[in-house]
Chains A and B, each alone.
Chain A
């Protein structure tokens, strides 16, 4: 990997200043996407701004929201997000044990990989994504493959998930990477349902027809294959089929 200047700020303001200090900069959270990308020279930042010294870890409940710091590791969400069992279970299925000991919630959400797990939880749990500059609703935040509402240099500080009556996540994992070939997060917010799909399309999205069908107690819809991803792992028809299967699996294990 190409060398860079490592900056370890002690405050959000210092981090933002270091980011805009000239040249290409990148924020370092858990590093489990960024460092592999730098090793393969897909990313070659001049400066790496380490966010680990800003105190952005931890899980707190405030009313009907569960707030999780952006630097909280997947392993800590898996054991600590007990107020939302579906979210804890999602975190326990990311990558493998060693990856979960390093990877972070904020890093995953900021990256918005179209096959990542957390974006589905954010959408289905009507999350608020707080940053050093303000706040975004999940519905506005995810804008397609690797694209978010974050401005250049904006730092996620914490994410507040609405605590649902019941929720669950089901994913068909790629056997090597453990990313979602298709993942579906279903949440029951007291009769208001939110269903979010990751892995299937060019970015995470809500499945409005499924939400309406569940709320009405009607037959579950089929996912149209039109705009779904096609790669060496699965074609659009198979992904569309998996959306229905994962939806049923998630509905069968609501907690």
Chain B
């Protein structure tokens, strides 16, 4: 079926089976491979993207369900030269080891800021991060990165 998608501010017209998951279209049709498939069972959050600013697991959503919405993937946040404050914080706080979960963790960080603002505590982040798994178990620095990234977003907007 024909699906019109708006991804990172760019319009895409794709012709894919109705059964295509959003993450499949992102990765396989549009080559936006920053969004990862970890568990493929709605547990790990590696596939998190923002749909109209709200974090969802793109392995558990049909691409057709995203029609008409504004989708943001990790590619839409920053550039290698100018990282988004949340990305920059992951770099500075060593918030990644193998890096596989990182795109989903960054998106989860943005979701936490959307719901709770930019002044976060490690306790709140730990609680809110329950839908994301890091198989390297590098959670301590991930939590530090999200707290710092949120503060960085506030500073960038100041």
Contact = CB atoms under 8 A, between A and B. Distances in A.
A101 B55 contact: yes
B38 interface: no
Interface in A7-54: 28, 31-32, 35-36, 38-39, 48, 50, 52
Contacts of A146: none
A166 interface: no
Interface of B: 1, 17-19, 21, 40-43, 45, 48, 54-57, 60-62, 64-65, 108, 111-112, 115, 128, 130-132
B133 to A, nearest CB: 9
A36 B42 contact: yes
Most buried by A among B1, B19, B48: B19
Q: Which 6 residue pairs across A and B have the least CB separation, nearest first?
A: A96-B131, A6-B18, A3-B19, A3-B17, A1-B19, A98-B131
Contacts of A32: 42, 60
Interface in A80-117: 95-99, 101-102
A121 B3 CA distance: 38
Interface residues of A, number: 25
A31 B61 contact: yes
A50 B68 CA distance: 14
A42 B143 CA distance: 37
Contacts of B41: 36, 39
Contact of B60 (A2, A4, A102, A176): A102
B131 A95 contact: yes
Contacts of A95: 42, 131
A211 B39 CA distance: 42
Given A35-B62, A97-B128, A176 B43 contact: yes
